[in-house]
Structure 1
């Protein structure tokens, strides 16, 4: 399985949401990182053939996906940021309904639905109405509906937004278990969601793909830019206002700061190895602080 994005572009009047992206994807988990407004969702929707590119094309095994039509969509599983569901449906009835929309036979739909409910840890809740589910349970049900047709390409757009840490860990483990022999694209601005499960990180900013590589490789972009230092607690606010501070820890009268800076921020600061979160802050701290 191979997806190729060839000079993919999407323009909305004066806004260039996706700007001439060239990308080749093969089986594996890809973490798409970017601040809100970076163009991630627009890119996902074009890959899912929901939106038409302004220019460029997407090829699946050498064929244009728009020409493939239903043949391409049969290979695709998609979990949008806010997937639609019927609150009064039970989890099992909902999956049967989605399976019917995907053209699955009744027997196949029943077997597959029960299997997936078990896989996502909802087998015991199959007769409960979705309106009674927690956010994490709804997201797990969302993964199940995206996997009904055993897709070769799985697209997940901000799947863990709003989940508590325990549910996010469960969700990441679930994605890992589903990722064999598939192209999985996980779009997020929550760095820890992709730090441990992604084979490759794709960094997107202002509609462009600005960096890609294995997690341990892309973090080297921030090499020499991450510092740790101890300052008097009364001076901490000065550093917070002046520098890009990733972490802060108070230890009595002193405060330990982790600072992302092109230059040494203060006397006694020690250069330290960057993490993926440091890289994210280096690229996107200004965007996240915009009103």
Structure 2
């Protein structure tokens, strides 16, 4: 591929993409290509650019990236099941034992993509795309003019599908990756222990894997030892360290707040009240106002 999909313009697209579409549209049995068919070809090219091989019939029969132009209407028909959903299989180069299933489900003007590595993880990687944003005119006079904003498609698909897939596969086989979720769990925990609690909570919201990892009681035990320095609570008496951390951290912040109110200026007090959202029935409310 002499041109990446993300670098496409209305004058030029990757040659492999152009070859596939020309081959399909010139087939005698071909009808007018639908947006979803063209969008599926875009996904195949994107995965190919990132090291994934399309599986033709079985795991031993893969279509190499340089041979994608062999794709024709026969393949498109085979991948489309009776419900209108497309089902394809891929393998990542060097990891041919792990089959990756991709399903493209048309939903009106959008399409939902679900990807799963069934023999490694039950997690489903999903993203929904408005197909017409990228395939704007299936009947355009030239193939490049069919498309628009392919850089956005490429970047989003890499972020939501390709990077998590690679990270999961590499982590499963004992390799690290450039992605945070691709690192060993022990290393992720050690990195996160350098962050303040507010950032840790934000990290836990980013994906299911990190959320599950950061709900581990051993992790919260370490946070408790790090942040709750002055407490009379015996750690051996409590196993729910996340709940204990929350309660003690809140108590410490409230204590610091009371100190600020006693020693600070009136403006400091107002700032603290605003930050901590003091209720209007607080005894100090009527005194100050």
Give the TM-score of the pair, scaled to structure 2: 0.26
Instruction: Give the structure with the larger strand fraction.
Output: 1
Select the structure of larger CA radius of gyration. Answer: 2
Instruction: Give the structure with the larger helix fraction.
Output: 2
